[in-house]
Amino acid sequence: MANIKSAKKRIRNSEAKRDRNRYQHKTTRTAIKNLRTAKDKKEAEALLPKVTQMVDKLAKKNIIHKNKASNLKSKLTKIVSTMKK
């Protein structure tokens, strides 16, 4: 355990950031799952911009890699475009 005051504060800050990142990442994964399991194309098209925005935010904050974000967006767009009405 840390003895220095600044180290203790750093631990607290790191835990808070970790919790926030985990929450955002889990929320995005759930949104992606909902998009993939959408029944009709209209519903999926409505969800796609929101999910894309969430993925971009994760990439911007370095929670996920920018290439992974790009690949996810590409795959999700392909899924939505190939859906049947």
Q: Domain for residue 82, yes or no?
A: yes
* Distance in angstroms (rounded) separating the CA atoms of residues 21 and 27: 10
Of residues 85 and 27, the one with the higher pLDDT is: 27
Residue 19 lies in a domain: no
3-state helix, strand, coil in the chain (%, to 5): 80, 0, 20
pTM: 0.86
pLDDT band at 1 (very low <50, low <70, confident <90, very high): confident
Provide the sign of the torsion angle of the four alpha carbons 22, 24, 25, 27, taken in this order.
Answer: positive
63 within domain boundaries = yes
**1 assigned to some structural domain:** no
The string of pLDDT tens digits covering residues 11-56 is 999 999 999 999 999 999 999 999 999 999 999 999 999 999 999 9
Provide the pLDDT confidence category of residue 58 given band limits of 50, 70 and 90: very high
Domain count of the chain?
Answer: 1
Residue 69 lies in a domain: yes
